[in-house]
Amino acid sequence: MKTKQLAFLTGFFIASLTAHPIFAGELPERISGVWVGGGLIRKSPGAPSERVRCRFSSKWAKRAATISLRYICLGIDIKFETTGTLKYNQAGQAIAGKLVVVGIGGFRASGKVKGDKVVMNLSGKDKKSGKPVNGTLAIAFKGNKSFRSSLTATDPKTGKRFQAFKASFKR
């Protein structure tokens, strides 16, 4: 998986976990719906950033305790789509599941909700090289209708960590 693809996945995942300030038991309801935003993606350490516009939609299935997600981002040279399902454990304030980046592959995601922030760890493999790819997604909510997110990723070619994605979203 290429770094830009991990960045995309991160953006998708960020959006999938976002809403507004998170309070115990409210994450699924607040994340449900449609979010739009934009930001920057960097394909690799030292590469120039590319501006992207994004749309995130999600639906909460209370009975199954799952959040279904779809995330799409478009830039001049980048187009990506991610879908997935995340389980939400209200008692432990934990989120875990799998995300699939169309044309790239699947990734495991797990994290915790702490106050108005969500921190998620993402892991998978580069589809071409088979090398491990990982990242850390951070989401910070502001007010009731916006959030900021960022992804720090490891470049599978060099092993260097870098900020692959940062964006802001609104309802």
Report how far residue 29's alpha carbon sits from residue 153's, in angstroms, rounded to the nearest whole number. Answer: 29
**pLDDT reported for residue 17:** 44
Averaged confidence pLDDT in the chain: 79
Hey, what are 107's tokens? 């990734």
**pLDDT reported for residue 27:** 67
State the distance between the two ends of the chain, measured CA to CA, in whole angstroms. Answer: 30
pLDDT at 18 over 60: no
Q: Is the pTM of this model over 0.85?
A: no
Hey, what are 150's tokens? 């960022």
**pLDDT reported for residue 110:** 95
User: What percent of the chain lies above the pLDDT cut of 70?
Assistant: 81
Residue range 62-77, pLDDT digits in tens: 888 898 988 888 899 8
pLDDT at 138 over 50: yes
Higher pLDDT, 28 or 18: 28
Q: What domains sit in the chain, N to C, each tagged with a CATH number?
A: 3-170 (2.40.128.20)
pLDDT at 108 over 60: yes
Of 42, 29, 14, the C-alpha closest to 147 is 14
| Run of H or E including 10 | helix 3-17
Of 89, 54, 86, 52, the C-alpha closest to 69 is 86
**pLDDT reported for residue 52:** 95
Report how far residue 28's alpha carbon sits from residue 119's, in angstroms, rounded to the nearest whole number. Answer: 16
